[in-house]
Amino acid sequence: MAINDTEFIAAWTQVLQLSNVKRGEVLTILTGSQTHPQTLHCATIAATTLGAVVNRLDLPSMNGSRSLSRDPFAYLGETALTGNPAALAALKASSMVIDLMTLLFSPEQAEILASGTRILLAVEPPEVLVRLVPHAQDRERVQAAARKIAEAKEMHITSEAGTDVRCPLGQYPAIQEYGFVDQPGRWDHWPSGFALTWPNEAQTNGTIVLDVGDILLPQKSYVSAPVALTITNGYCTRIEGGIDAKLLEDYMASFDDPEAYAMSHIGWGLQPRARWSGMSLYDREATTGQEARAFMGNFLCSLGPNNEAGGSRTTACHIDIPIRNCTIRLDGRDVVTRGKVVGLDAAGTLHG
């Protein structure tokens, strides 16, 4: 059912207040051809009501001839800001950017953040955004999980389906994604709710098995038969299985880039209002699958770039894989047991 403007404006107001939007600060809304008009309309009203000086920067579509999908995550790195110093200057001069286009994994986004501008990505359908509007408690839960990651030297992931992979940690920081941007230079996306890091380069080894019902993104598909990924020295060296494996293999091969197969971020979902089944209720072109990345207790692993964590890998291919029913251990201690987050009380607070 569609969301009315009153509910959506209230949700935007909550997110902007959590993001510390102040009267008189400059806020730029970045839009493109796929921006949802209700999202733009309601974000503008909420921001102006809070007293922000609001600009809109609309940029043309990119990468349509190279991408195999209309999903904005299907071809990363080059954006409409590439070679566009005037647009880049406008965003760097803003206190906050609401990204309704998708700059993720681009060098321009890193440059904007380094200037102190904070960026909030919001490209999901309005109904998903309102249902998963963030709260302050989401930040506390994610921060608690991120502290555990920051203290660990190894993440070990297993499952009854056959996953058994070890990821040495420490080279990259623990990242917190909770749905709002409350610090200078911070990036986040709404909806959100997970803690993650990148494993040490060329050190991850083992097998990751996707079972029936696990999710491939940006394909936005539920796996119909098991897929086994062999990880050797930080790279996926074999993809085995039925039609899902063959489709994934062909998609990744289309980039003709060996770095597409590198281990990217790893972590787990911490958003109690996100549902594993939610993506099944939307047309593929209506969503980017952010809810699937955030549902509670999933092991979110990925292949592709690492420049968001300070690395140098900027491959255009990025695969996100939310996997259910895994056990995740940090230095031998469970933080997720068979898909259930350890230490989570009924109020949604993470302990231990």
The CATH number assigned to the domain holding 88 equals 3.40.50.2300
Question: Is 48 contained in some domain?
Answer: yes
Question: Is 150 contained in some domain?
Answer: yes
Domain, as residue range, for 323 = 134-341
Question: Is 188 contained in some domain?
Answer: yes
Question: Is 350 contained in some domain?
Answer: no
Say if CB 3 and CB 127 are below 8 A apart.
yes
Do 38 and 145 fall into the same domain? no
Taking alpha carbons only, the member of 293, 304, 208, 204 closest to residue 252 is 304
Do 203 and 162 fall into the same domain? yes
Do 251 and 157 fall into the same domain? yes
- Domain end among 99, 130, 161: 130
Do 104 and 184 fall into the same domain? no
- Domain end among 106, 130, 154: 130
Question: Is 220 contained in some domain?
Answer: yes
Question: Is 349 contained in some domain?
Answer: no
Residuewise pLDDT in 10s, the chain (352 residues) = 789 999 999 999 999 999 999 999 999 999 998 999 999 999 999 999 999 999 999 998 766 566 677 777 776 667 888 899 999 999 999 999 999 998 877 889 889 999 999 999 999 999 999 999 999 999 999 999 999 999 999 999 999 999 999 999 999 999 999 999 999 999 999 999 999 999 999 999 999 999 999 999 999 999 999 999 999 999 999 999 999 999 999 999 999 999 999 999 999 999 999 999 999 999 988 999 999 999 999 999 999 999 888 888 889 899 999 999 999 999 999 999 999 999 988 778 888 7
Do 64 and 11 fall into the same domain? yes
Amino acid in position 219: Q
Question: Is 274 contained in some domain?
Answer: yes
Do 147 and 102 fall into the same domain? no
Do 116 and 238 fall into the same domain? no
Do 109 and 148 fall into the same domain? no
Question: Is 352 contained in some domain?
Answer: no
Do 33 and 167 fall into the same domain? no
Taking alpha carbons only, the member of 43, 16, 30 closest to residue 101 is 30
Count of domains forming the chain? 2
**Which tokens in the block code for residue 59?**
């940029």
Do 181 and 292 fall into the same domain? yes
**Which tokens in the block code for residue 277?**
């089944």
- Domain end among 86, 113, 130: 130
What residues pair up with 119 in beta bridges, in sequence order? 97, 187
Do 178 and 250 fall into the same domain? yes
What pTM was computed for the model?
Answer: 0.95
The CA angle 169-136-138, to the nearest 5 degrees, is: 40
Do 216 and 326 fall into the same domain? yes
Residue 54: how many CB atoms within 10 A of its CB? 18
